Amino acid sequence: MRPYVLSVVLVLLVLASTPATAAALAPSKPSQMVNVAAFGTCPLAFTTDLFNTLVEGDGTIAPFSIPAGEVLVITDLTVFSDGKTPGHTIQVQVVAGTSATSHVSIFTENVTAGASGGVTLSATFPTGIVVKSGTSICPIAIDNTGGVGTSSVAAGGTLRGFLTKDR
């Protein structure tokens, strides 16, 4: 009987802690929300853009980087690219890192290039993707049809999310 009671107590404790964790990844005020565009040159050795331009609610723009002591929680993004071969499978990625030799893909999905050779992909992340301060974030689009992805990786995009304290 004791092992059963202990198991039930542990399950209840885990469930009770879940809302606190989820609440920690939500903006507490509207000023934490950000809309960031990829316009700058990606420093991660890709010929693509860097998410480094804050787009304000009134349409003005300003430089963007994740402030020290905070994290960016990405809630949704759009990546676009053109100049691909129509009908080819394009691997869309968002990569994050601190240098050309230290980066990882934080999002990957395959899409088919349209009749004009363009690709647009939108995605939503209900639990968010957390990115720390000092990290560069870049969208890429690689043509993987017919062999190794050697086609241009050039891509741009927008991401939305919020800033919060790094815990």
What pTM, to 2 d.p., does this model score?
A: 0.80
CA atoms lying within 13 Å on the CB side of residue 150? 3
Please give the pLDDT value at position 11. 33
Tell me the pLDDT tens digit for each residue of 120-161: 999 999 999 999 999 999 999 998 886 655 566 889 999 999
CA distances to 51, 94, 139 from 44, rounded to whole Å, are: 12, 11, 11
Nearest to 163 by CA among 97, 73, 77: 73
* pLDDT-derived band at 25, boundaries 50, 70, 90: low
- Over 60: is that where the pLDDT of 95 sits? yes
Beta strands across the sheet bearing 89-99: 102-112, 89-99, 136-143
Q: Can you read off the two tokens belonging to residue 109?
A: 């999905």
Is the distance from CB of 40 to CB of 52 less than 8 angstroms?
Answer: yes
What residue ranges do the domains of the chain occupy?
26-165
What class does CATH assign to 26-165? mainly beta
- Over 70: is that where the pLDDT of 1 sits? no
Beta strands across the sheet bearing 33-41: 61-63, 49-55, 33-41, 156-165, 70-81, 119-132
Please give the pLDDT value at position 146. 62
